[in-house]
Amino acid sequence: MIWIKVIKQDISDDTIYLPKKVAEKLPKEVTLQFGLKEIKVNLCEIEKSSIDKKNSFEDSIEVLCGKDIIQKLYIKESLIYQMIYKDETLYIGPVIGLLLGEQSYYYHNRNMQGFTRGMDIYNEIGGLFIAFKDISIDWNSMVINGLYYDNEVMEWRYGTLPFPSVVFRRAFYTSQKVVDELKRLTGNRVFNSTRFDKWEMHKILERHKNFQEYLPETKELIDIKFFHNFMNKYSDVILKPAGLSRGRGICFVHRINDNFGIYDYRISDNPRFYIVDKTSADEFIENNFIQKNYIIQEQVKLATINGAPFDIRIVIGKNEDKRWRCRGIECRKAGAKNKITNISRGGQALSINNAMRLAFGPCIDTNKIRNELISVALKFCEIMDNSGEHFAEFGLDFAIDPNKHYWFIEANVRPVFRGFKHMDYENYLHIRHMPLLYAASLAGFGKGARDSEPKAML
Protein backbone atom coordinates (compact mmCIF):
# COMPACT_ATOMS: atom_id res chain seq x y z
CA MET A 1 0.00 0.00 0.00
CA ILE A 2 1.12 3.54 -0.70
CA TRP A 3 -0.37 6.92 0.15
CA ILE A 4 -1.18 9.02 -2.90
CA LYS A 5 -2.66 12.30 -4.05
CA VAL A 6 -4.35 12.36 -7.45
CA ILE A 7 -3.38 15.24 -9.75
CA LYS A 8 -5.55 15.90 -12.81
CA GLN A 9 -3.79 16.32 -16.15
CA ASP A 10 -5.35 18.08 -19.14
CA ILE A 11 -5.19 15.03 -21.37
CA SER A 12 -8.06 12.92 -22.68
CA ASP A 13 -6.73 9.39 -22.58
CA ASP A 14 -7.14 6.70 -19.91
CA THR A 15 -3.56 6.86 -18.67
CA ILE A 16 -2.17 7.05 -15.16
CA TYR A 17 1.35 8.33 -14.60
CA LEU A 18 3.17 6.80 -11.64
CA PRO A 19 6.68 7.29 -10.28
CA LYS A 20 9.07 5.00 -12.11
CA LYS A 21 9.80 2.87 -9.03
CA VAL A 22 6.10 2.08 -8.74
CA ALA A 23 5.20 1.74 -12.42
CA GLU A 24 8.03 -0.67 -13.23
CA LYS A 25 6.57 -3.21 -10.76
CA LEU A 26 3.09 -3.15 -12.30
CA PRO A 27 1.62 -4.31 -15.63
CA LYS A 28 1.21 -1.78 -18.41
CA GLU A 29 -2.55 -2.17 -18.35
CA VAL A 30 -4.68 -2.71 -15.26
CA THR A 31 -8.21 -2.30 -13.98
CA LEU A 32 -8.52 0.82 -11.85
CA GLN A 33 -11.26 0.68 -9.19
CA PHE A 34 -12.60 3.55 -7.11
CA GLY A 35 -15.56 2.59 -4.94
CA LEU A 36 -17.76 0.48 -7.24
CA LYS A 37 -16.59 2.32 -10.35
CA GLU A 38 -13.90 0.70 -12.46
CA ILE A 39 -12.24 1.20 -15.85
CA LYS A 40 -9.26 -0.17 -17.78
CA VAL A 41 -6.26 2.17 -17.70
CA ASN A 42 -2.73 2.31 -19.04
CA LEU A 43 0.19 2.86 -16.70
CA CYS A 44 3.14 5.06 -17.65
CA GLU A 45 6.23 6.18 -15.80
CA ILE A 46 7.06 9.65 -14.56
CA GLU A 47 10.74 9.75 -15.41
CA LYS A 48 11.83 12.58 -13.17
CA SER A 49 10.35 11.70 -9.83
CA SER A 50 11.70 10.95 -6.40
CA ILE A 51 9.98 8.91 -3.72
CA ASP A 52 10.49 9.02 -0.02
CA LYS A 53 10.66 5.46 1.27
CA LYS A 54 8.87 6.74 4.39
CA ASN A 55 5.74 7.30 2.32
CA SER A 56 2.94 8.40 4.67
CA PHE A 57 -0.33 10.29 4.77
CA GLU A 58 1.62 13.50 5.34
CA ASP A 59 4.17 12.66 2.63
CA SER A 60 2.06 11.08 -0.12
CA ILE A 61 3.24 10.62 -3.70
CA GLU A 62 1.60 12.31 -6.67
CA VAL A 63 -0.26 10.18 -9.18
CA LEU A 64 -1.10 11.95 -12.45
CA CYS A 65 -4.42 11.08 -14.08
CA GLY A 66 -5.99 12.17 -17.34
CA LYS A 67 -9.14 14.23 -16.91
CA ASP A 68 -11.23 11.43 -18.45
CA ILE A 69 -10.28 9.08 -15.62
CA ILE A 70 -11.20 11.69 -13.03
CA GLN A 71 -14.59 12.23 -14.68
CA LYS A 72 -15.41 8.57 -15.24
CA LEU A 73 -14.56 7.51 -11.69
CA TYR A 74 -15.69 10.72 -9.94
CA ILE A 75 -12.40 11.04 -8.09
CA LYS A 76 -12.04 14.05 -5.78
CA GLU A 77 -8.56 15.48 -6.24
CA SER A 78 -8.24 17.33 -2.94
CA LEU A 79 -8.08 14.14 -0.87
CA ILE A 80 -5.36 11.73 0.19
CA TYR A 81 -5.94 8.09 -0.73
CA GLN A 82 -4.45 4.69 -0.20
CA MET A 83 -3.47 2.76 -3.33
CA ILE A 84 -3.23 -1.03 -3.40
CA TYR A 85 -2.46 -3.43 -6.24
CA LYS A 86 -4.11 -6.84 -5.99
CA ASP A 87 -5.28 -9.44 -8.50
CA GLU A 88 -4.50 -7.30 -11.55
CA THR A 89 -6.54 -4.42 -10.13
CA LEU A 90 -5.28 -1.10 -8.82
CA TYR A 91 -7.52 0.09 -5.98
CA ILE A 92 -7.74 3.70 -4.84
CA GLY A 93 -9.68 4.31 -1.68
CA PRO A 94 -11.28 3.61 0.61
CA VAL A 95 -14.67 4.87 -0.54
CA ILE A 96 -17.05 4.61 2.41
CA GLY A 97 -20.71 5.60 2.51
CA LEU A 98 -22.70 6.86 5.50
CA LEU A 99 -26.36 6.13 4.84
CA LEU A 100 -28.28 8.78 6.78
CA GLY A 101 -31.97 9.46 7.29
CA GLU A 102 -34.34 11.39 5.08
CA GLN A 103 -34.29 14.52 7.24
CA SER A 104 -33.25 17.30 4.89
CA TYR A 105 -31.55 19.31 7.65
CA TYR A 106 -28.75 16.74 7.87
CA TYR A 107 -27.44 17.62 4.45
CA HIS A 108 -25.49 20.77 5.14
CA ASN A 109 -21.99 21.12 6.55
CA ARG A 110 -23.17 22.93 9.68
CA ASN A 111 -25.44 20.00 10.58
CA MET A 112 -22.76 17.38 10.00
CA GLN A 113 -20.57 18.42 12.91
CA GLY A 114 -21.20 15.21 14.83
CA PHE A 115 -19.77 13.29 11.90
CA THR A 116 -16.94 15.82 11.44
CA ARG A 117 -15.74 15.17 14.99
CA GLY A 118 -15.45 11.48 14.17
CA MET A 119 -13.27 12.31 11.17
CA ASP A 120 -10.31 13.29 13.31
CA ILE A 121 -9.05 9.80 12.46
CA TYR A 122 -8.96 10.64 8.75
CA ASN A 123 -5.16 10.71 8.55
CA GLU A 124 -5.11 7.01 9.51
CA ILE A 125 -7.54 6.04 6.76
CA GLY A 126 -7.68 8.67 4.03
CA GLY A 127 -10.10 8.18 1.16
CA LEU A 128 -13.57 9.41 0.27
CA PHE A 129 -16.34 9.50 2.90
CA ILE A 130 -19.81 10.03 1.44
CA ALA A 131 -22.95 11.06 3.36
CA PHE A 132 -26.13 10.28 1.46
CA LYS A 133 -29.80 9.32 1.69
CA ASP A 134 -32.22 7.30 -0.44
CA ILE A 135 -33.13 10.09 -2.83
CA SER A 136 -29.45 11.02 -3.28
CA ILE A 137 -28.94 7.89 -5.38
CA ASP A 138 -29.05 8.02 -9.18
CA TRP A 139 -29.52 4.33 -9.99
CA ASN A 140 -29.34 4.88 -13.77
CA SER A 141 -25.92 6.55 -13.70
CA MET A 142 -24.76 4.64 -10.60
CA VAL A 143 -23.72 7.82 -8.81
CA ILE A 144 -24.68 9.57 -5.59
CA ASN A 145 -25.46 13.25 -5.28
CA GLY A 146 -24.46 13.79 -1.69
CA LEU A 147 -21.87 15.23 0.65
CA TYR A 148 -18.22 14.23 0.92
CA TYR A 149 -15.68 15.07 3.59
CA ASP A 150 -12.89 17.41 2.49
CA ASN A 151 -10.11 16.95 4.99
CA GLU A 152 -8.15 19.98 3.78
CA VAL A 153 -10.83 22.36 5.05
CA MET A 154 -12.49 19.90 7.48
CA GLU A 155 -15.90 20.44 5.90
CA TRP A 156 -18.56 18.44 4.10
CA ARG A 157 -19.07 19.53 0.48
CA TYR A 158 -21.69 18.72 -2.12
CA GLY A 159 -20.66 16.62 -5.09
CA THR A 160 -21.51 13.88 -7.57
CA LEU A 161 -19.82 10.80 -6.23
CA PRO A 162 -19.26 7.11 -6.99
CA PHE A 163 -21.07 4.30 -5.23
CA PRO A 164 -19.11 3.35 -2.09
CA SER A 165 -17.73 -0.15 -1.71
CA VAL A 166 -18.82 -0.21 1.96
CA VAL A 167 -21.87 1.40 3.59
CA PHE A 168 -22.24 2.22 7.29
CA ARG A 169 -25.98 2.47 7.89
CA ARG A 170 -26.76 5.34 10.25
CA ALA A 171 -30.57 5.54 9.95
CA PHE A 172 -33.38 3.00 9.95
CA TYR A 173 -36.25 4.79 8.28
CA THR A 174 -34.71 4.32 4.86
CA SER A 175 -36.33 2.02 2.33
CA GLN A 176 -35.46 -1.63 2.90
CA LYS A 177 -35.53 -2.08 -0.87
CA VAL A 178 -32.72 0.47 -1.17
CA VAL A 179 -30.72 -1.23 1.58
CA ASP A 180 -31.17 -4.64 -0.05
CA GLU A 181 -29.94 -3.29 -3.40
CA LEU A 182 -26.90 -1.70 -1.75
CA LYS A 183 -26.18 -5.02 -0.05
CA ARG A 184 -26.33 -6.78 -3.41
CA LEU A 185 -24.06 -4.25 -5.13
CA THR A 186 -21.45 -4.18 -2.36
CA GLY A 187 -21.39 -7.92 -1.73
CA ASN A 188 -23.16 -7.59 1.65
CA ARG A 189 -20.82 -4.85 2.84
CA VAL A 190 -23.62 -2.77 4.33
CA PHE A 191 -23.12 -3.00 8.07
CA ASN A 192 -25.65 -2.35 10.79
CA SER A 193 -27.90 -3.52 7.99
CA THR A 194 -31.11 -3.63 10.05
CA ARG A 195 -32.50 -2.93 13.47
CA PHE A 196 -34.54 -5.64 15.17
CA ASP A 197 -37.29 -4.32 17.40
CA LYS A 198 -37.48 -5.59 20.98
CA TRP A 199 -39.88 -8.42 20.18
CA GLU A 200 -37.95 -9.58 17.12
CA MET A 201 -34.74 -9.47 19.16
CA HIS A 202 -36.28 -11.47 22.01
CA LYS A 203 -37.52 -14.18 19.64
CA ILE A 204 -34.05 -14.51 18.11
CA LEU A 205 -32.27 -14.67 21.46
CA GLU A 206 -34.64 -17.10 23.17
CA ARG A 207 -33.91 -19.72 20.51
CA HIS A 208 -30.35 -19.98 21.85
CA LYS A 209 -30.05 -22.04 25.04
CA ASN A 210 -26.76 -20.39 26.01
CA PHE A 211 -28.53 -17.02 26.23
CA GLN A 212 -31.92 -17.92 27.68
CA GLU A 213 -30.81 -17.46 31.30
CA TYR A 214 -30.23 -13.74 30.68
CA LEU A 215 -33.71 -13.02 29.31
CA PRO A 216 -36.57 -11.76 31.51
CA GLU A 217 -39.84 -13.43 30.54
CA THR A 218 -41.29 -11.39 27.68
CA LYS A 219 -44.44 -11.59 25.56
CA GLU A 220 -46.02 -9.56 22.83
CA LEU A 221 -48.92 -7.65 24.41
CA ILE A 222 -51.77 -8.64 22.12
CA ASP A 223 -54.51 -9.38 24.67
CA ILE A 224 -55.50 -8.17 28.13
CA LYS A 225 -55.14 -11.79 29.30
CA PHE A 226 -51.36 -11.52 28.83
CA PHE A 227 -51.33 -8.51 31.14
CA HIS A 228 -53.24 -10.28 33.91
CA ASN A 229 -51.21 -13.49 33.54
CA PHE A 230 -48.01 -11.50 34.03
CA MET A 231 -49.42 -9.47 36.93
CA ASN A 232 -50.55 -12.65 38.71
CA LYS A 233 -47.15 -14.20 38.20
CA TYR A 234 -44.81 -11.28 38.91
CA SER A 235 -46.76 -8.36 40.52
CA ASP A 236 -44.30 -5.95 38.83
CA VAL A 237 -44.10 -5.66 35.05
CA ILE A 238 -42.81 -3.28 32.39
CA LEU A 239 -44.65 -2.32 29.22
CA LYS A 240 -42.23 -1.36 26.46
CA PRO A 241 -42.83 -0.14 22.89
CA ALA A 242 -41.15 -2.72 20.67
CA GLY A 243 -39.85 -0.13 18.22
CA LEU A 244 -38.41 2.55 20.55
CA SER A 245 -35.27 2.79 22.65
CA ARG A 246 -33.64 5.04 25.30
CA GLY A 247 -36.50 4.55 27.74
CA ARG A 248 -39.14 6.18 25.53
CA GLY A 249 -42.77 5.11 25.86
CA ILE A 250 -42.28 2.88 28.91
CA CYS A 251 -44.80 2.15 31.68
CA PHE A 252 -44.15 0.35 34.96
CA VAL A 253 -47.09 -1.41 36.59
CA HIS A 254 -47.08 -2.57 40.22
CA ARG A 255 -49.80 -4.54 42.03
CA ILE A 256 -51.01 -2.91 45.22
CA ASN A 257 -53.44 -5.38 46.82
CA ASP A 258 -56.45 -5.31 44.47
CA ASN A 259 -55.29 -2.11 42.75
CA PHE A 260 -52.52 -1.19 40.35
CA GLY A 261 -49.85 1.51 40.58
CA ILE A 262 -48.83 2.83 37.17
CA TYR A 263 -45.69 4.88 36.42
CA ASP A 264 -46.32 6.33 32.97
CA TYR A 265 -43.19 7.61 31.16
CA ARG A 266 -44.85 8.00 27.77
CA ILE A 267 -45.32 11.76 27.91
CA SER A 268 -42.27 13.12 29.72
CA ASP A 269 -39.18 12.24 31.75
CA ASN A 270 -41.19 12.87 34.92
CA PRO A 271 -43.69 10.02 35.14
CA ARG A 272 -47.33 10.37 35.85
CA PHE A 273 -48.28 8.10 38.71
CA TYR A 274 -51.77 6.60 39.05
CA ILE A 275 -53.37 4.16 41.46
CA VAL A 276 -56.35 2.54 39.77
CA ASP A 277 -58.69 -0.38 40.32
CA LYS A 278 -58.87 -3.41 38.02
CA THR A 279 -61.61 -1.98 35.80
CA SER A 280 -59.71 1.27 35.24
CA ALA A 281 -56.45 -0.62 34.75
CA ASP A 282 -58.03 -2.83 32.08
CA GLU A 283 -59.39 0.22 30.28
CA PHE A 284 -56.01 1.97 30.46
CA ILE A 285 -54.14 -1.06 29.12
CA GLU A 286 -56.71 -1.82 26.40
CA ASN A 287 -56.76 1.75 25.11
CA ASN A 288 -53.02 2.43 25.17
CA PHE A 289 -51.08 -0.82 24.79
CA ILE A 290 -53.03 -3.77 23.39
CA GLN A 291 -52.28 -4.25 19.68
CA LYS A 292 -50.04 -1.12 19.80
CA ASN A 293 -46.73 -2.93 19.18
CA TYR A 294 -45.90 -3.23 22.88
CA ILE A 295 -44.24 -6.03 24.78
CA ILE A 296 -44.84 -6.98 28.42
CA GLN A 297 -41.88 -8.06 30.51
CA GLU A 298 -41.31 -9.18 34.07
CA GLN A 299 -39.68 -6.45 36.12
CA VAL A 300 -36.64 -8.16 37.59
CA LYS A 301 -35.63 -7.12 41.10
CA LEU A 302 -32.32 -5.37 40.52
CA ALA A 303 -29.36 -4.35 42.61
CA THR A 304 -29.48 -0.66 43.53
CA ILE A 305 -27.16 2.18 44.47
CA ASN A 306 -28.53 4.16 47.41
CA GLY A 307 -31.97 2.84 46.52
CA ALA A 308 -31.75 3.88 42.85
CA PRO A 309 -31.77 1.32 40.03
CA PHE A 310 -28.82 1.18 37.64
CA ASP A 311 -27.94 -0.66 34.48
CA ILE A 312 -24.75 -1.45 32.59
CA ARG A 313 -23.97 -0.26 29.06
CA ILE A 314 -21.37 -2.26 27.11
CA VAL A 315 -20.11 -0.76 23.86
CA ILE A 316 -18.88 -3.54 21.63
CA GLY A 317 -17.85 -3.39 18.01
CA LYS A 318 -15.82 -4.96 15.28
CA ASN A 319 -12.29 -3.72 14.98
CA GLU A 320 -9.94 -3.62 12.02
CA ASP A 321 -9.32 -7.33 12.51
CA LYS A 322 -13.10 -7.79 11.97
CA ARG A 323 -13.53 -9.33 15.41
CA TRP A 324 -15.81 -8.15 18.19
CA ARG A 325 -14.04 -6.15 20.89
CA CYS A 326 -15.40 -4.54 24.03
CA ARG A 327 -14.61 -0.84 23.83
CA GLY A 328 -16.05 0.37 27.09
CA ILE A 329 -18.38 -0.32 30.01
CA GLU A 330 -20.29 2.30 31.93
CA CYS A 331 -22.97 2.06 34.58
CA ARG A 332 -25.94 4.42 34.59
CA LYS A 333 -27.77 5.20 37.81
CA ALA A 334 -31.30 6.55 37.61
CA GLY A 335 -31.92 10.08 38.80
CA ALA A 336 -33.84 10.92 41.95
CA LYS A 337 -37.30 9.31 42.10
CA ASN A 338 -36.78 7.86 38.63
CA LYS A 339 -36.88 4.32 37.30
CA ILE A 340 -35.16 5.07 33.97
CA THR A 341 -31.36 5.22 33.84
CA ASN A 342 -30.67 6.87 30.47
CA ILE A 343 -28.19 9.75 30.70
CA SER A 344 -30.42 11.82 28.41
CA ARG A 345 -33.23 11.44 30.98
CA GLY A 346 -31.33 12.45 34.09
CA GLY A 347 -29.23 9.34 34.70
CA GLN A 348 -25.70 9.52 36.11
CA ALA A 349 -22.72 7.78 34.52
CA LEU A 350 -20.45 5.75 36.81
CA SER A 351 -17.45 3.54 36.20
CA ILE A 352 -18.13 -0.15 36.64
CA ASN A 353 -15.66 -0.30 39.55
CA ASN A 354 -17.40 2.53 41.38
CA ALA A 355 -20.93 1.25 40.68
CA MET A 356 -20.23 -2.32 41.79
CA ARG A 357 -18.62 -1.18 45.05
CA LEU A 358 -21.50 1.15 45.81
CA ALA A 359 -24.01 -1.61 45.05
CA PHE A 360 -22.28 -4.63 46.62
CA GLY A 361 -19.59 -3.28 48.93
CA PRO A 362 -15.81 -2.78 48.68
CA CYS A 363 -14.95 -6.49 48.51
CA ILE A 364 -16.76 -7.12 45.21
CA ASP A 365 -14.54 -8.64 42.49
CA THR A 366 -15.12 -6.06 39.73
CA ASN A 367 -12.73 -7.78 37.32
CA LYS A 368 -14.80 -10.95 37.55
CA ILE A 369 -18.00 -8.98 36.92
CA ARG A 370 -16.43 -7.18 33.97
CA ASN A 371 -15.11 -10.37 32.37
CA GLU A 372 -18.40 -12.20 32.82
CA LEU A 373 -20.34 -9.32 31.26
CA ILE A 374 -18.01 -9.20 28.27
CA SER A 375 -18.44 -12.96 27.85
CA VAL A 376 -22.23 -12.57 27.78
CA ALA A 377 -21.92 -9.67 25.31
CA LEU A 378 -19.77 -11.80 23.01
CA LYS A 379 -22.40 -14.56 23.12
CA PHE A 380 -24.93 -11.98 21.97
CA CYS A 381 -22.66 -10.86 19.11
CA GLU A 382 -22.14 -14.43 17.96
CA ILE A 383 -25.93 -14.86 17.74
CA MET A 384 -26.21 -11.65 15.72
CA ASP A 385 -23.47 -12.78 13.34
CA ASN A 386 -25.58 -15.86 12.61
CA SER A 387 -28.79 -13.88 12.14
CA GLY A 388 -28.30 -13.32 8.40
CA GLU A 389 -27.63 -9.60 8.92
CA HIS A 390 -24.37 -7.65 9.10
CA PHE A 391 -23.60 -5.85 12.35
CA ALA A 392 -20.46 -4.11 13.57
CA GLU A 393 -21.49 -1.98 16.55
CA PHE A 394 -23.82 -2.36 19.53
CA GLY A 395 -24.57 -0.60 22.77
CA LEU A 396 -25.77 -3.48 24.94
CA ASP A 397 -27.72 -2.76 28.10
CA PHE A 398 -27.62 -5.26 30.96
CA ALA A 399 -28.78 -5.24 34.56
CA ILE A 400 -27.55 -7.16 37.59
CA ASP A 401 -29.70 -8.46 40.44
CA PRO A 402 -28.76 -8.81 44.15
CA ASN A 403 -27.56 -12.38 43.45
CA LYS A 404 -25.19 -11.00 40.79
CA HIS A 405 -27.11 -12.60 37.94
CA TYR A 406 -27.06 -10.69 34.65
CA TRP A 407 -30.18 -9.71 32.71
CA PHE A 408 -30.31 -8.54 29.11
CA ILE A 409 -32.33 -5.35 28.67
CA GLU A 410 -31.86 -4.23 25.06
CA ALA A 411 -29.44 -3.77 22.18
CA ASN A 412 -28.91 -0.43 20.50
CA VAL A 413 -27.55 -0.64 16.97
CA ARG A 414 -27.03 3.11 16.94
CA PRO A 415 -25.77 3.76 20.47
CA VAL A 416 -24.93 7.13 22.00
CA PHE A 417 -21.93 7.64 24.25
CA ARG A 418 -22.72 10.56 26.56
CA GLY A 419 -21.48 8.83 29.69
CA PHE A 420 -18.19 7.73 28.11
CA LYS A 421 -17.58 11.27 26.87
CA HIS A 422 -17.55 12.56 30.45
CA MET A 423 -15.78 9.62 32.09
CA ASP A 424 -12.96 8.95 29.60
CA TYR A 425 -12.76 11.29 26.62
CA GLU A 426 -9.87 9.46 24.97
CA ASN A 427 -11.78 6.18 25.02
CA TYR A 428 -14.91 8.02 23.85
CA LEU A 429 -13.00 9.09 20.72
CA HIS A 430 -11.75 5.56 20.21
CA ILE A 431 -15.35 4.27 20.39
CA ARG A 432 -16.38 6.81 17.73
CA HIS A 433 -13.50 5.77 15.46
CA MET A 434 -14.11 2.03 15.69
CA PRO A 435 -16.80 1.68 12.96
CA LEU A 436 -14.79 3.87 10.55
CA LEU A 437 -11.71 1.71 11.01
CA TYR A 438 -13.86 -1.38 10.50
CA ALA A 439 -15.34 0.13 7.33
CA ALA A 440 -11.86 0.80 5.93
CA SER A 441 -10.82 -2.76 6.71
CA LEU A 442 -13.97 -4.14 5.09
CA ALA A 443 -13.14 -2.11 1.97
CA GLY A 444 -9.68 -3.69 1.83
CA PHE A 445 -7.80 -0.70 3.26
CA GLY A 446 -7.44 -1.78 6.87
CA LYS A 447 -4.49 -1.99 9.19
CA GLY A 448 -3.07 -5.02 7.39
CA ALA A 449 -2.85 -3.08 4.15
CA ARG A 450 -1.46 0.04 5.83
CA ASP A 451 1.15 -1.95 7.75
CA SER A 452 2.35 -3.76 4.61
CA GLU A 453 5.82 -2.71 3.51
CA PRO A 454 5.55 0.27 1.13
CA LYS A 455 8.74 -0.94 -0.58
CA ALA A 456 6.64 -3.70 -2.12
CA MET A 457 5.26 -1.01 -4.44
CA LEU A 458 8.08 1.51 -4.11
Distance between CA atoms of residues 230 and 219, nearest Å: 9
410 shares its domain with 329: yes
413 shares its domain with 328: yes
99 shares its domain with 150: yes
CATH of the domain at 60: 2.40.40.20
pLDDT score for 353: 94
Q: What is the pLDDT of residues 331-387, one digit of tens each?
A: 988 876 777 766 556 678 889 999 999 999 999 999 999 999 999 999 999 999 999
56 shares its domain with 108: no
pTM of the model: 0.89
CATH of the domain at 361: 3.30.470.20
438 shares its domain with 375: yes
The reply to whether 260 falls in a domain is: yes
The reply to whether 454 falls in a domain is: no
242 shares its domain with 284: yes
Q: Domain range for residue 162?
A: 95-189
User: What is the 3-class SS of the chain, one letter each residue?
Assistant: CEEEEEEEECCCCCEEEEEHHHHCCCCCEEEEEECCEEEEEEEEEECCCCCCCCCCCCCCEEEEEEHHHHHHHCCCCCCEEEEEEECCEEEEECEEEEECCCCHHHCCHHHCHHHHHHHHHHHHHCCEEEEECHHHEECCCCEEEEEEEECCCCEEEEEEEECCCEEEECCCCCCHHHHHHHHHHHCCCEECCCCCCHHHHHHHHHCCHHHHCCCCCEEECCCHHHHHHHHHHHCEEEEEECCCCCCCCCEEEEEECCEEEEEECCCCCCCEEEEECHHHHHHHHHHHCCCCCEEEEECCCCCEECCEEEEEEEEEEECCCCCEEEEEEEEEECCCCCCCCCHHHCCEEEEHHHHHHHHHCCCCCHHHHHHHHHHHHHHHHHHHHCCCCCCCEEEEEEEECCCCCEEEEEEECCCCCHHHHHHCHHHHHHHHHHHHHHHHHHCCCCHHHHHCCHHHCC
pLDDT score for 338: 73
Which residue, among 353, 374, 378, 351, has the nearest Cα to 363 in the 3D structure? 353
224 shares its domain with 294: yes
Last residue of a domain, one of 63, 93, 123: 93
The reply to whether 196 falls in a domain is: no
Instruction: Tell me the HSE value of 199 on the side-chain side, using a 13 A CA sphere.
Output: 14
Query: Average pLDDT, stretch 95-101?
Result: 93
85 shares its domain with 173: no
111 shares its domain with 68: no
Give the β-pairing of 324-333 and 259-264.
unpaired
The reply to whether 406 falls in a domain is: yes
The reply to whether 19 falls in a domain is: yes
Inter-CA distances, 380 with 58, 330, 409, Å: 40, 18, 12
Q: What is the pLDDT of residues 57-83, one digit of tens each?
A: 999 999 999 899 999 999 999 899 999
The reply to whether 419 falls in a domain is: yes
276 shares its domain with 307: no
Distance between CA atoms of residues 76 and 71, nearest Å: 9
The reply to whether 355 falls in a domain is: yes
Q: What is the pLDDT of residues 139-160, one digit of tens each?
A: 999 999 999 999 999 999 999 9
228 shares its domain with 180: no
Ramachandran bin of 142, using left for φ above 0, alpha for ψ from -120 to 50, beta for the remaining angles: left
Among 53-57, 115-119, 423-427, 432-436, name the one with the lowest average pLDDT.
423-427
155 shares its domain with 267: no
Last residue of a domain, one of 38, 65, 93: 93
Tally of structural domains, the chain: 4
pLDDT score for 451: 52
The reply to whether 450 falls in a domain is: no
Inter-residue contact 399 to 312 (CB < 8 Å): yes
